[in-house]
Amino acid sequence: MKFSAKTQALYDLIAPAVAACGVELWGIEFLPQGKRSLLRIYIDKPENQDDTTAADQLVVSKDASASTADETDADEDAGRGIGVQDCVQVTHQVSGVLDVHDPISGEYALEVSSPGWDRPFFSLTQMQAYIGQKIALRLISAVANRRKMTATLLELNEQQIVVEVEGQRLTIDGDNIDKANLVYED
C-alpha cells in the first residue's frame, strides 16, 4: 500500500489544510484521466469512525462550481461523523492550497467525502480497528493463486496482514496490496 510519487506529494501538500479544518485526512486518490483528472480526498473524525456515511460528499471542479451528493445534512447531530459542512470546509481550504501551489496540470475535479461504510484503506495501520471484520483485497501479485479476495482480517503489523479466506490463513505483504476496503455487513 504505497502512494505514487505524485499522490505522496499531493498528500503532503493537502494534509495540513485538512488538519486545519479539525478533521483527519483518511486518504487520497489521484486518478489522471486525460484532459480531466480526479482528486478524491477522504476525511474522517477518528472518535466517530463507525458513524460516517457514504452519502456525505462534495464535488468541485477546478472552475469552482460545487454540488453536494446529499443536501440533507445532520451535522447538528453531535457524534454523527463527517457531514456535508465538513466536506464544504475542507473543499474550500484544499482548493485554496491547490490554487496557490498548482500541483495538478490541466483540469481536474476535486471530491471530498467521508470514507463511508465500505471505507478504503490507505495504510495497514488504518485496518487495526477492523480486526475480525471482512475486507476486500486486490493484490499486485497472486497469493494462493488469488489476486482478488474477500477475507476476514485476523492480525496485522507494519509490514503485513494475516487474513482468513475459506478456512485458509494467508499472510500478505503490505507492499503487495493494490487496494483494500472494508466490506460492510449489516
Is the Cβ–Cβ distance between 117 and 111 less than 8 Å?
A: no
* Average pLDDT of span 16-39: 94
According to DSSP, the residues that pair with 25 across neighbouring strands are 43
Which one-letter amino acid corresponds to residue 30? F
Residue 170 β-bridge partners? 163
Cell of 52: 460516517
Question: Given this model, what pLDDT does residue 68 score?
Answer: 38
pTM of the model: 0.80
Average per-residue pLDDT for the chain:
85
Domain with CATH 2.30.30.100 in the chain: 124-182
- pLDDT tens readout for residues 133-174: 999 999 999 999 999 999 999 999 989 999 999 999 999 999
| Residues 57 and 68 sit within 8 Å (Cβ to Cβ) | yes
Separation of alpha carbons 133 and 183, rounded Å: 8
What does CATH list as the number for 124-182?
2.30.30.100
Buried b (16+ CB within 10 A) or exposed e, 81-92: bbbbebbbbbbb
CA 116/CA 52 separation, integer angstroms: 6
Per-residue pLDDT reduced to its tens digit, 109-125: 999 999 999 999 999 99
Which distant-in-sequence residues (6+ apart) come within 8 Å of 113 by Cβ? 40, 41, 42, 43, 54, 56, 57, 58, 69, 82, 87
